[in-house]
Amino acid sequence: MRITGEQRRRRLVVRQLALGAHGPGADPVTTAEEVTERLVALHATDAPSVHLAVLARVPGLTLDDVRDALFERRSLVKVLAMRRTMFVVPRDLVPVVHAGASGGVARRLRTRLLKELGTLPTDPVVDDPEALLAAAEAQVHAALVEQGPLDGAQLSRAAPLLRTAFLPTTDKAWDVRRTLTSPLLSVLSAEGSVVRGEPRGAWSSPRHVWSPMSDWFPDGIPALDEDAARVELARAWLAAFGPATVADLKWWTGWNLGQARRAVAALDAREVEVEVGPPGQEPVVAEGVMLRSTDLDSDLDPAFDDVVAGHAALLPTLDPTTMGWTARDWYLGPHRPQLFDSAGNAGATVWWQGRVVGAWVPRPDGEIAWRLLEDVGADGEAAVAAEAARLTVLLGGTGFTPGYVTPLYRELLAAG
């Protein structure tokens, strides 16, 4: 069975973007929690992206709706997980993500940090890396319990061992003095003992606070078997992102190829062919997989014709759809050099009918500027303009600075 690029783009619109639409097999989404469940996880490295990823998919939701899910109901939780990246996941999925992804990340981060403490020059000199790290952890936990929530600067004052510094070893511009604060908080986040909370100041601020994970899970994150958790995480990802390749799953999870193959083998899945080449060109086919429960017929139902034909979206940096696969040509086309930075991070993108067609940026006053990289017709331009106007209203006259700058982003800012 072959799944064409057009069919994949249609499913992308129905299952990932137009989540407020009515249709067979897809109940309309109405909450930030439901958006996150449909997408498995939202990228949270760049502070504004979580809010914007939700607002792009469900008209009627607001910045406050997302904030309440994150910090009032605490039904969405920030975790350091797949690919050593910060994500927001539904509370019920936290144990699966923790065992299936975060645990392996935590072990690698702790091993690396201990090695750096033992081999790099530090101020003061560290004679016993394990003892220093244990003492610093104890200071962090005591400070958070007694004084929390605290941001990184407050923590470094309350837990003085965090001010232990790694000294430069080269004359490179990037090789600067850095303290223990950030790497240790990454370790503790991946281990599930601390959680990133609400930012200080504006909703888009990168200055976030930390709290003990016990504030979210009083009895700790429920423990699961790692192999079983990987199977469940693969099932959730394939339900949202399949049909896809095992290489896509491997990349998204950060697993090795053996772990990805074993997880898929434990599922009720079938092998398929998926087209991975750019739209409008000779098909490029790869071996793929999909859950047998995947209802492609519903996604292809004519009831969704108008939804797909008229759908435009403005997705934020590191959006879960833009970053959902490692093979992206089938929805990205030739636009990668302009819309991704040199490290492979996606900027803010304009979508039309399930494919990337341009970019957008927020102005300091909250107005949205955008540019198309291909002709989408008068209807497409009108739909994009309407989405930009809707988002401008939601931002309420306040802009923000995305954390990842792409070539086209720079051009749009310079043109403003």
DSSP string, 370-407: EEESS--HHHHHHHHHHHHHHHHHHHTT-----S---H
pLDDT tens, residue by residue, 57-107: 999 999 999 999 999 999 999 999 999 999 999 999 999 999 999 999 999
| Global pTM value | 0.94
In whole angstroms, what is the distance from residue 208 CA to residue 185 CA? 12
Q: What is the mean pLDDT of residues 243-264?
A: 98
pLDDT of residue 150: 97
Identify which has the larger pLDDT, 362 or 377. 377
Q: What is the mean pLDDT of residues 275-298?
A: 91
Q: What is the mean pLDDT of residues 272-294?
A: 94
What order do you get walking across the sheet with 208-212 strand by strand? 150-151, 208-212, 194-199
Q: What is the mean pLDDT of residues 139-151?
A: 95
- The verdict on residue 202 lying in a domain is yes
In whole angstroms, what is the distance from residue 118 CA to residue 415 CA? 49
- The verdict on residue 153 lying in a domain is yes
pLDDT(25) > 80: no
- The verdict on residue 189 lying in a domain is yes
Q: What is the mean pLDDT of residues 156-178?
A: 94
- The verdict on residue 65 lying in a domain is no
In whole angstroms, what is the distance from residue 176 CA to residue 179 CA? 10
Identify which has the larger pLDDT, 213 or 304. 213
- Look up residue 281 and give its amino acid: Q
Structure tokens at 332: 């990205």
- The verdict on residue 75 lying in a domain is no
pLDDT(413) > 80: no
Contacts of 383 (CB under 8 A, 6+ apart): 310, 311, 312, 352
pLDDT category at 365 given cuts 50, 70, 90 is confident
Average pLDDT, the chain: 94
pLDDT of residue 134: 98
pLDDT tens, residue by residue, 317-349: 999 999 999 999 999 999 999 999 988 999 999
In whole angstroms, what is the distance from residue 409 CA to residue 412 CA? 5
- Please give the distance of CA 367 from its chain centroid, rounded to a whole number: 24
Structure tokens at 340: 């991704």
- The verdict on residue 401 lying in a domain is no
Q: Are 93 and 39 in contact (CB under 8 A)?
A: no
pLDDT category at 23 given cuts 50, 70, 90 is low
pLDDT of residue 68: 97
pLDDT category at 24 given cuts 50, 70, 90 is low
Structure tokens at 82: 């797949």
Structure tokens at 116: 């750096």
Cβ atoms within 10 Å, residue 28 = 12
In whole angstroms, what is the distance from residue 389 CA to residue 59 CA? 12
Contacts of 309 (CB under 8 A, 6+ apart): 353
Work out how many domains the chain is built from and give that number. 1
pLDDT of residue 186: 97
pLDDT(396) > 80: yes
Q: Are 7 and 244 in contact (CB under 8 A)?
A: no
The DSSP bridge partners found for residue 359 are 349, 371
Rounded (10°) angle between helices 257-265 and 246-253? 120
Percentage of residues in the chain having pLDDT higher than 90:
82
Closest CA to 180 of 115, 141, 136, 130: 136
State residue 27 phi and psi, 5-degree precision.
-70, 140
In whole angstroms, what is the distance from residue 71 CA to residue 87 CA? 15
pLDDT(414) > 80: no
- The verdict on residue 140 lying in a domain is yes
Q: If residue 358 lies in a helix (H) or strand (E), which one and from where to where?
A: strand 355-362
SS3 59: coil
pLDDT of residue 304: 85
- The verdict on residue 136 lying in a domain is yes
Q: What is the mean pLDDT of residues 155-160?
A: 96
pLDDT of residue 26: 62
Q: What is the mean pLDDT of residues 295-301?
A: 82
pLDDT(21) > 80: no
Q: What domain range is 190 assigned to?
A: 92-215
